Amino acid sequence: GQLASVAMAAAASTTLTLGTAVTLLAQHDPLWLAKELATIDHHSGGRLEFGVGFGWNREEYEAHGYPWGGRRERTADCLAAMQALWTDHEASSAGTQFSLEPSWSYPKTVRPGGPPVLLGAAVGPKMLASFTEWADGWMPILTPTLDLVGDLTRIRAALEAAGRDPASLLVSAMNAPKTPAELSALVDLGVQKAAFTVWAEDPDMIRQQLDQFASIRDDYRQGA
pLDDT in tens, 103-133: 999 999 999 899 999 999 999 999 999 999 9
pLDDT at 2: 83
pTM above 0.85, yes or no: yes
The values of phi and psi at residue 91, to 5°, are -95, 145
SS3 122: coil
- How far is residue 61's CA from residue 96's CA, in Å, rounded to a whole number? 18
Give pLDDT < 50 ranges for the chain: none
pLDDT at 200: 86
Terminal alpha carbon distance of the chain: 36
Find all residues with CB under 8 Å of 150, minimum gap 6, and list them: none
- How far is residue 204's CA from residue 45's CA, in Å, rounded to a whole number? 31
- How far is residue 147's CA from residue 154's CA, in Å, rounded to a whole number? 11
SS3 50: strand
pLDDT at 181: 92
